[in-house]
Structure 1
């Protein structure tokens, strides 16, 4: 299963590279727009580094350890003008976003991006980077922005999950007549609104009618079974982050995705400190069972018991489990 998943990930990576090469002729066309635009005279090239911070310590509830373990899909990114959105908070996900967030399939999403470039000439560049085979790892690639296409959007699927993802929608990298040099953003989970599963490994359960894209928080959705439900927290820890760095322009129009290496799969630098985040997880127990039969001699008081069981054990100094068995005095019924 893992080998098959790795082959599919490689296939998606090479598909992205192929579409990036074939689409450059269309993507580089200028875009007329009435929106105030960036006035930078030259295009800029950026390096984007995505770092997963999805550790078991930070997100202990139902953390997936196998079939499949916690990991990240390929990043799919677009540089574009202000009139385009690959996804948007509080709006309905497209069919392409649905297939990508639920199944990791990018064909439809790529066709939607390609169509936007051809129809309204809003898309300037497409980029991708290989998947991260772990909850904490990195992927890096480069991309170029143009004055009339100064916005960056991207999406990364959370694997496994019903339809959850992290990403950025329409980040403008231009400030007046110059490009932003460096930028760091923390990323939090979103629900695409197409699947109603509550946990990372929930089976497919289509949302009918489809909901809009919403941000997942420590209290929303407010169901105790939800994998991100941490009522003691005001805010979830960041699940990932991206660092954007403007680099010196080269002759290459759009940087090709870099293959992952052992060094960029592991946390480096400040990531060691990030991994020390410990989210407390309180013990969760079931409801009490009905009281059992009263055990005792006729005419004398007896004892009856009820029990409950642990739904989820405490972690990271969370509240310990309460007692699981209780007894009370009773008087036997139907004594002869």
Structure 2
């Protein structure tokens, strides 16, 4: 579905993406004989909500060229013998282009071909991109009314183990959600119904999260120490030498402060000038 735009400043690598694959949610395959007991297709609203903010992910948050943003929303209703992507399997060329570059044309052609050749894809839906890390985009789709699809799914980025990664937060046991997908069945009045237990406010097809975005503490990161400088001091008396380091990542959201950036040590001058 929505995927973060792939080019980030300072080499940040966010590969997490979401692609809707609503298996076995459509009606009879294309070309099948209609059944007299068939029910009309139900309409659903699918909403993607980005939660990629500077407060929730302050480390190397992309502000310029390009800023934090999400690609277009793209998915399909299909039968169980087709999938856009399966875990631990290689992706198609179209899905790779969508995940890495945000380009959806090749993936849409693959889904259309599956509908024509395999009669497995019953409907493709899309919605505009989200131009910032936070925001919403939504679309509608049709599926057989016998399926109960109302759901809210939160998407989290994987927890990397390397300090250079933009989503490296060793103090956190789990990262906060980076996005959310809400799928609800529309009533005849085209107003979405969400059970009260989900904690969401509904206005038409607009779904508003009632909880504020979390603030992720970001600890200060400093470079390695430089080499010791020359020993400075008068002849016949102990001198002093120093070394420095610099701040690589400034703390945010009450993270650990930066340690001292300069250190001195006594020494004996090598010569007297």
Sort the TM-score into its range (normalised by shorter chain). 0.7 to 0.9
2:249 is matched with 312
Report the counterpart of residue 23 of structure 2 in structure 1: none
Q: Quick one: distance in 2 between partners of 1:268 and 1:81? A: 28
1:244 alignment partner, one of 183, 188, 204: 183
Give, in whole Å, the separation in 2 of the partners of 1:60 and 1:113: 37
Give the whole-Å Cα distance in 2 for the aligned partners of 1:40 and 1:313.
Answer: 61
Matched, 1:184 2:185: no
Displacement of 1:54 in angstroms is 1.0
Equivalence for 1:327: 264
- Of residues 153, 163, 166 in structure 2, which corresponds to 1:224? 163
> Alpha-carbon deviation of 1:278?
0.3
Tell me how far apart the structure 2 counterparts of residues 289 and 181 of structure 1 sit (CA, whole Å): 58
Give the alignment's TM-score, normalised by structure 2: 0.76
Q: 1:320 to 1:40 in 2, by over 3 A?
A: farther
2:116 counterpart SS class: helix
Please give the per-residue CA displacement for 1:194-229, whole angstroms capped at 9, x wherever unaligned: xxxxxxxxxxxxxxxxxxxxxx22xx2x11110111
1:74, CA displacement in angstroms?
A: 0.8
Counterpart for residue 201 of structure 1: none
- Other structure's SS at 2:241 match: strand
| Structure 1 residues 81 and 181: CA distance shift in structure 2, 3 A | closer
Aligned length, in residue pairs: 229
C-alpha distance in 1, partners of 2:139/2:79?
21
Distance 2:249 2:40 in 1: 56
Tell me the SS of whatever aligns to 1:84: coil
Aligned to 1:121: 119
Q: How do residues 206-285 of structure 1 correspond to structure 2 at under 5 angstroms?
A: 216-217=158-159, 220=160, 222-248=161-187, 269-271=208-210, 273-275=211-213, 277-285=214-222
Within 2, Cα distance between the matches of 1:88 and 1:56? 31
Residue ranges of structure 2 left out of the alignment (5+ in a row): 6-27, 190-202
Paired position in structure 2 for 1:161: none
SS, match of residue 228 in structure 2: coil
> Is the 8 Å Cα contact of residues 40 and 179 (structure 1) preserved in structure 2?
no
Q: Secondary structure at the match of 2:72?
A: strand
User: What is the match of residue 58 of structure 2?
Assistant: 60
Q: Give me the whole-angstrom Cα distance separating, in 2, the residues matched to 1:126 and 1:144.
A: 10
Does the CA contact (< 8 Å) of 1:99 and 1:108 recur in 2? yes
Q: Give the one of 77, 81, 99 matched to 2:75.
A: 77
Which protein is bigger by CA-based radius of gyration? Answer: 2
Matched, 1:291 2:228: yes
Report if the CA contact (8 A) 1:53-1:274 is conserved.
no
Instruction: Report the Cα distance in structure 2 between the residues aligned to 1:268 and 1:111, rounded to whole angstroms.
Output: 30
Quick one: structure 1 residues 145 and 136, their matched pair in 2 at CA, closer, same or farther if it must change by over 3 Å? same
Please list every run of 5 or more consecutive structure 1 residues that lacks an aligned counterpart in the other structure. 6-26, 32-38, 148-177, 190-215, 251-263
- CA distance in 2 between counterparts of 1:298 and 1:85 reads 79
Detail structure 1 runs of 4+ shifted over 6 Å in the superposition: none
CA deviation after TM superposition for structure 1 residue 43, in Å: 2.8
Q: 1:40 to 1:229 in 2, by over 3 A?
A: farther
